[in-house]
Chains A and B, each alone.
Chain A
Amino acid sequence: MAQAIAFYFIAACILGFAVLVVTTRDTVHSVLFLVLDFLFVAALYVLLGAQFLAAIQVLVYAGGIVVLYLFVVMLVNLKRPPEAHEDPHRRTKLGFGLAAAVLLELGAIAVYGSVNPAAPMPATPAIPVSGNTEQVGWLLYTSYLIPFEIASMLLLVAMIGAIVLAKREL
């Protein structure tokens, strides 16, 4: 019961702030709502027992990526907001059309799911460690070592790329 209340509350916050992110005019406010949204997503992770991921979410997303966004918003503070004149919206029909399509699909899945419930999944091979952090760590450094290394390369490339892009003269 408590879990359900928590879930519904968190879910409502996530969706509400997500809507605000997309609809707010002021970009800085939008970024702030994004932070709140991410914090609630982290809370959801805690609810799902993924504490490590929750901490990473806050650390990386809220404390890192969004600060970057805020930084850029402040740097690129506009004399002329991009949506000041003309129609602020673009491809509205397409956007909402896509949304409707996804919604339809979702409905279909939900109906299908309720009609024939999924078979219980076979148990996954046991991991020799207990605890959320340990589990994630074990997986990262055993089965997913190569993707992990690739991800680190990706980050390195992104870092260099960002420096090259943002630096005025090299």
Chain B
Amino acid sequence: MITPVHYMLLSAALFIIGVVGVMVRKNIIIIFMSIELILNAVNINLVAFSAQLQNGIGQVFAIFVIAVAAAEAAVGLGIILAFYRNKETINIDEMNLMRS
């Protein structure tokens, strides 16, 4: 029998993978993708609870999360493109313009 705990564990594991990706990789596109993984982990959690609680609220929130993810991806990738055009790099460690 699959309980919400299973989903939670799956979600947590996905979350961890996402966090590790954000922390470890230098390629900013992969970092963005890791963030997407994190958001998905959250969504899994929300949908799992929605199913457990027999109401749609969790799914509604999942939809909001997807909307936010779409916005984030659009703006984030726009920034990457703009940055790449000027600096010819997508290495996050070289993105230190704001550092004095």
Enumerate chain A interface residues (CB-CB to B < 8 A). Answer: 3-4, 7, 11, 14-15, 18-19, 21-22, 27, 30-31, 34, 37-38, 41, 44-45, 48-50, 52-53, 56-57, 60-61, 64-65, 68-69, 71-73, 75-76, 78-83, 88-92, 94-96, 98-99, 102-103, 106, 109-110, 113, 121, 123-124, 127, 132, 135-136, 138-140, 143-144, 147-148, 151-152, 154-155, 157-159, 161-166, 168
Contact = CB atoms under 8 A, between A and B. Distances in A.
A90 B37 contact: no
Contact of A21 (B33, B47, B64): B33
Interface string B54-78: 1111011011101111111111011
Contacts of A65: 36, 69-70, 73
Interface residues of B, number: 75
Give the most central of B6, B27, B69, B79: most A CB within 10 Å: B27
Given A21-B37, A75-B81, A127 B20 contact: no
Interface majority SS (helix, strand, loop, mixed), chain B: helix
A65 B71 CA distance: 9
B67 A18 contact: no
A15 B17 contact: yes
26 contacts: A3-B2, A4-B2, A18-B37, A21-B21, A34-B33, A44-B44, A53-B62, A60-B66, A61-B40, A61-B66, A61-B69, A72-B77, A75-B81, A76-B84, A78-B90, A82-B92, A82-B94, A83-B91, A99-B16, A102-B12, A123-B54, A124-B54, A159-B74, A162-B74, A165-B75, A165-B81
